Amino acid sequence: MRGKLQTMLKKWTAILLILNLAGAYLGAQDPYLSGIARLEEGDLQGARVLFTTAIETKGANPELLLKLAEIHYLSGAYQLAIESAKEANRMESGKGNYMLARSFAITGQAAPAVQYLEKHLKSGFKRPRHEILLDSAFASIEETTDWKALWRQTWYSEVENLEFEVAYLRRSGDYVAALEKIEEGLSENQRRDELYAEKGHILFLMGNHQDAIRAYSQAIQISGPAAYYQGRAEAYIQQEKYTEGIKDLERTLRLQPEKLNLYKRLGLLNQSAGNYPEATENILQYLEYFPASAEAHFICGEIYFDDRNYLKALGCFNRCLALDTGEAMYFEARGKTYLNTDTYAYALNDFTMALDLDPFNPRIWYMKGLCRLKLQNKDGARSDLEKAARYGSVKARQLLEEMMD
């Protein structure tokens, strides 16, 4: 019991430490986006507090109310989910009908569930058929008379049914048949942006990135939701056209700012492109919302390291290791930073810790050998370099040959 208590205290101490250190990153956070971040992390209570704060400071809107309804639903507070969804409906007619249908269905109330689902199917918010039929919230009412009667009606047009069939073929891996269906649809109507986007998705999965870009571009010319820009960005990135990919991901974020993970993606892309100021800005924006992400602090440190800002890199790696000491690459990263600042004893300690976690890594053995050389421990260095060479390090083999001359 005492051991468990000590483990918990260490965990909370690390989290409090990182939150304090992360204060250097934090600007004026948007409580809505902060709530989205907490929801992504599964912190329902934290998300509820932040969404409530957003309503108090900025006023209620349908999106916020539906996020609150989602939290209540996930928490099992279905009556509160219903109340929030009804309030969303009062602000924007039809907006909360799907959540209302789910909330009534999960509690076994088939009649009101089907009533609100029918309203949803008649609205401009209508979700794809497969999404509704696969929603586990409706499992308990699928054998009821009300449910069966609802689905005897026709709710989807030929166009929507074609899109459903194409998506089904794609998910089944039958890409050729899916593309044939798309061409049939486009031969009847060239202004079908959803089909062009689906074509882009399929071509991307097939590895035909140039044609995927072309298809997404055709979709964007007709209509430009965030998903189309993000799809085209990924195709650009596969072709190592980082500038174009970055621009499309930035457009995606402007259109859908709650896609917070794109800040991390942009940071990595800008780092690959050598755009270190932009990469730093991106990852710090991500850290505003996820200050307890060890991975993000690691990425931040790597960006500073590549930009030769070793002092700031060390700060990031320290924060990373305050959160997670279970990854060899985190110790390796801090060790190589110490190595580049001639702090050899500290570097040696970190490489030793890294090798405890990853004992067959030639790169770490090589850097540990370099440290021991700098510390005038030639026998220890030779031992480390021999292990590095044994595990495949060409650099270690070359250095050993030089030491023999």
Q: What is the pLDDT of residues 233-271, one digit of tens each?
A: 999 999 999 999 999 999 999 999 999 999 999 999 999
pLDDT given for residue 66 in this prediction: 96
pTM check: above 0.75: yes
Query: Do the domains 60-153 and 156-259 sit in the same CATH topology, yes or no?
Result: yes
Radius of gyration of the chain (CA): 27
Q: Per CATH, is 60-153 categorized as 1.25.40.10?
A: yes
Judge whether residue 16 has pLDDT over 60: no
pLDDT given for residue 214 in this prediction: 98
**Any idea which of 24-38, 49-63, 132-146, 286-300 has the lowest mean pLDDT?**
24-38
Instruction: Answer left, alpha or beta for residue 348, where phi above 0 means left and psi between -120 and 50 means alpha.
Output: alpha
Domain boundaries, the chain: 60-153, 156-259
Q: What is the pLDDT of residues 57-94, one digit of tens each?
A: 889 999 999 999 999 999 999 999 999 999 999 999 99
- SS3 sequence of 154-185: CCCCHHHHHHHHHHHHHHCCCHHHHHHHHHHH
Q: What is the pLDDT of residues 283-314, one digit of tens each?
A: 999 999 999 999 999 999 999 999 999 999 99
**Mean pLDDT, range 19-31, rounded to an integer:** 55
Instruction: Please state at what angle helix 226-238 crosses helix 242-255, rounded to 10 degrees.
Output: 160
Q: How many helices (H) and strands (E) does the chain have?
A: 24, 0
Judge whether residue 12 has pLDDT over 80: no
Q: What is the pLDDT of residues 318-368, one digit of tens each?
A: 999 999 999 999 999 999 999 999 999 999 999 999 999 999 999 999 999
Judge whether residue 225 has pLDDT over 50: yes
- Note whether 48 and 55 are within 8 A (CB): no
Architecture in CATH for domain 156-259:
Alpha Horseshoe (1.25)
Q: What is the pLDDT of residues 362-397, one digit of tens each?
A: 999 999 999 999 999 999 999 999 999 999 999 999
φ/ψ (deg, to 5) at 13: -60, -45
In angstroms, the CA 260 to CA 255 distance is 12
pLDDT given for residue 28 in this prediction: 54
What torsion do the CA atoms of 246, 249, 253, 255 make, to the nearest 10 degrees? 120
Residues in the chain: 405
Residue 145 burial class via C-beta count within 10 angstroms: exposed 0-12, middle 13-18, buried 19 and up: exposed
